[in-house]
Each structure stands twice: as C-alpha cells, then as structure tokens.
Homo-oligomer: A and B are copies of this chain.
Amino acid sequence: MSEQYDPLASVQAAGPPGTISFVYGLPDPDTFPVQELCDCLGEVLRRRASLALQYGPEQGYGPLIDYLRAWIGREENLHLERPQMMVTGGSAPTLDLICTLLTRAGDRVLVEAPTYHESLKLLRDHRLVPCQVPTDAHGVIPDALSERLEQLWSGGECARMLYLIPSFQNPSGVTLTLERRREIVALARQHRLLIVEDDVYRELAEPGVVPASLYALGSELTLRLGSFSKLLAPGLRLGWLIGPPTLVRRIYDCGVRNMSGGWNPLIANAIAAYCQKGLLEPHLSQIRGVYQDRRRAMLEALEAYMPPGTEWTRPNGGFFVWLSLPGAMGSAATVARARKKSVLVLPGDPFFAESPTGQYFRLAFSYVEPDQIHNGIRILGEVLAAG
C-alpha cells in the first residue's frame, strides 16, 4: 500500500516491518484464491443479485448447505441432512450465539488447559465460568475430565458445556486421539454435557489424518463449528454449523437471525458457486502443501536451535506449536528479550482459564515463510540459551 500507515486500514497486524512474528495464526494471504472469488462474486451478481443481495433464509443458502453436507459426509462417511446444518458467519459468532441461546450466566464450561485465549474471553463476556482440564500430547485427559466433573457436581455446581478444539489445537497443535474422543463423548453423555467442537483446522489435513470428529461419535450432543477462514480467507466471514436438528433450529430461528436473515448471503452465494465449480478440493490440496512446509520448517528449526530442557509439541497439521521453557525460566521475560531481537512470540499464560504457570509460548507458523521461520527460531534459541 502506498497510503500512509493506518492501523485501521491494515490487517490484524502480524507485526511491524522488520520483525519476525510468530504471534498470530493468520492464514497466508498468498493462498487466497482471489481471482476465483472475484469471478464467483461477479457471476452471482450477474445472475441472481436480487437473491444474493436480499435478506437470506435464516438457515443459510440451501445449495451451499447441500455442497457442505455432501462434501463433509463423503470425507467422514457421515450422512448429513439439511436440518443438521446451517451456514454461519464463522466459528466465533456461532460460539457467541450458542452461549446466548444455550447457556446462562454463571454456567460452568469445561475447556482444555491450554485453550484458545480469545474463546475464554468470549465465554467470560457471557459471564460463563471456564473450568480447565489438563491435556498431554494426546489431547485432553479423560480421567482428569471425569474428576473435574465429579468435583463440580459434589461442589453443587453443574457443568453445562464442554468446549474443545480437538484437531491441531489452538494453541498446542495437539490432536485428540480416537480412543480419547470415544471416552470424552461417553463422559459427556453420562453428565448431560453439550459438546462444542471447534474444528476449524481439520480440513487443512489430508482426509483420514484426523480421527473421527466428536460430532461423528456423539451426534446427539455435539455442535461442531466449521469455517472457511483458514480454507479460503478470513475476510469472507463464513462458516458452518453441524449439530442435532433441534439445536441447529434453535440457533437459526432466534431473534438476531429473524431480524437479519441468514449470515452473509452475498458471500454465501459466491462460495456456493466456488464450491459447485469443484474449486474447493483442489485449492485445499494446494494450500496443505504450503502449511506443511512451514510446519516442517518450524519443527526442524526447533530441533536445531532450542537449548536443552526446552520442550515442544509435534503437531501433524494446523498453525501452531506450543513450547515450554526449562525450569524456572519465565516466558514474560523471554518474550521481552526476544522482542529486542525483533522476534515476536505470544506468552502462554492467557491460554489458561486457571492457574497459569508462566512457562509457555505459542508459536504460530502459518504466516511466516520457511526461511524466516528458520531465522526467527535461531534467534529465539539464542535468547533462550543466554537466559
């Protein structure tokens, strides 16, 4: 841009020029299918503007729902009917509406430790109380979940919802194993918990890499959030919801949707056209390579440059690696020292609903070129070694 720098005209900044930023899990703008989206928008406006620019049906544009249920059904061997799905404005506003409609202030919501810090903020905006459950390299620990549920119950509290990011988790990158998914669904059934499955990184992996979704294992109690933000582009603000028909209907047949109709009809029409042309799956094959290269670069660089005692997760997809510092080394001080060397990382404390330990970082590799990942992690290694 030739214009003068204006933060409100800029992206949610990855970092100032000259820095290497591992802060934000932004998709790489070079992967955005700009020309194809432009063509589809043009086509929709030429052919059916009076439909696409009008208030749309609350559940979303039917042909897009049909594409999604066929595609997701095929990938995961699921049979999905229209009443099980709706088009949304992405995972965040859907989680927001779920909280408004299906929870009450003061309700306990079980979350992973760590979990996505902005989801914690959203839950707290609804005056919900996030309660954390420990995780390890295989995801959230079922025995710990069971224990926390019993503890809440015996303390007179009732947990309402379980919010999980089971695939390539934000911030840890970890994927919940199939066995644990089964145990979690069994626990949710036993405790009458609603599961919210925030699954926006799944389709960035080849089909079959991620185990069956929690929705596939417990379709009667799971609301699964999907999004085009990582698959196409975040600025489109479009996603989908899969869930039990009665709850899906409760979510689209509410005041805000009755007032404003379906989410983003013009964009939904354009993405339907894009999908119907068969463009989505080849696009995904292509961008998978981009993020795989960055993930490999990140894991190789960590192996090469991290000092002894440092530990990190080894995700096989997604945008993030989670790093823990040796012994008493604090992440806040390290973040400050790395910043002086123009490397930006995000401290881990905000990702804990309770009792942060000051010992973690999140490293986002999605927005950084492989050679810059290498440079940045080398510098971070030097900072840690000097610490």
Bound Cα distance from A125 to B233, whole angstroms:
31
Bound Cα distance from A82 to B61, whole angstroms:
35
Instruction: Establish whether residues A57 and B92, one from each chain, have CB atoms under 8 Å apart when the complex forms.
Output: no
- Does A10 sit within 8 A of B, measured CB to CB? yes
Instruction: Establish whether residues B65 and A53, one from each chain, have CB atoms under 8 Å apart when the complex forms.
Output: no
Bound Cα distance from A10 to B105, whole angstroms:
37
A79 shortest CB reach to chain B, Å: 19
Bound Cα distance from A341 to B1, whole angstroms:
60
Q: Which of A29-37, A149-157, A183-191, A369-377 contacts B (4 or more CB under 8 A)?
A: A29-37
Given A29-B50, A53-B234, A54-B26, also A60-B100 (CB < 8 A) = no
Chain copies in the assembled complex: 2
Bound Cα distance from A34 to B120, whole angstroms:
40
Residues of B with C-beta under 8 A to A52: 235
Residues of B with C-beta under 8 A to A233: 53-54, 266
Q: How large is the interface on A (under 10, 10 to 19, 20 to 34, 35 or more residues)?
A: 35 or more
Instruction: Establish whether residues A61 and B9, one from each chain, have CB atoms under 8 Å apart when the complex forms.
Output: yes
Instruction: Establish whether residues B259 and A9, one from each chain, have CB atoms under 8 Å apart when the complex forms.
Output: no
Residues of B with C-beta under 8 A to A212: none
Which of B26, B51, B121, B237 has a CB less than 8 Å from the CB of A254? B121
Bound Cα distance from A306 to B164, whole angstroms:
60
Instruction: Establish whether residues A12 and B57, one from each chain, have CB atoms under 8 Å apart when the complex forms.
Output: yes
Which residues, 254 to 284 on A, are CB-close (under 8 Å) to B? 254-261, 263-267, 269
Of A29, A55, A236, most B-chain CB atoms within 10 Å:
A55
Instruction: Establish whether residues A122 and B37, one from each chain, have CB atoms under 8 Å apart when the complex forms.
Output: no
- Does A38 sit within 8 A of B, measured CB to CB? yes
Bound Cα distance from A257 to B363, whole angstroms:
22
Which of B32, B55, B56, B126 has a CB less than 8 Å from the CB of A50? B32
Q: Summarize A's interface: helix, strand, loop or mixed.
A: helix
Residues of B with C-beta under 8 A to A32: 49-50, 53
Instruction: Establish whether residues A34 and B57, one from each chain, have CB atoms under 8 Å apart when the complex forms.
Output: no
Bound Cα distance from A37 to B56, whole angstroms:
18
A200 shortest CB reach to chain B, Å: 10
Residues of B with C-beta under 8 A to A49: 29, 32, 34
- Does A138 sit within 8 A of B, measured CB to CB? no
Instruction: Establish whether residues A55 and B118, one from each chain, have CB atoms under 8 Å apart when the complex forms.
Output: no
- Does A127 sit within 8 A of B, measured CB to CB? yes
Q: Which of A40-48, A307-315, A318-326, A351-359 contacts B (4 or more CB under 8 A)?
A: A40-48
Bound Cα distance from A92 to B53, whole angstroms:
17
Which residues, 212 to 245 on A, are CB-close (under 8 Å) to B? 229, 233-237
Which of B7, B55, B97, B104 has a CB less than 8 Å from the CB of A11? B55
Which of B37, B56, B121 has a CB less than 8 Å from the CB of A235? B56
Instruction: Establish whether residues B266 and A9, one from each chain, have CB atoms under 8 Å apart when the complex forms.
Output: no
- Does A75 sit within 8 A of B, measured CB to CB? no
- Does A62 sit within 8 A of B, measured CB to CB? yes
- Could you tell me which A residues sit within 8 Å of B by CB distance? 1, 6-12, 24, 26-27, 29-30, 32, 34-35, 37-38, 41-42, 45-46, 48-63, 65, 82, 89-93, 95-97, 99-101, 104-105, 116, 118-127, 229, 233-237, 254-261, 263-267, 269
A-B contacts, 5 listed (Cβ < 8 Å): A38-B46, A89-B89, A92-B260, A118-B258, A123-B255
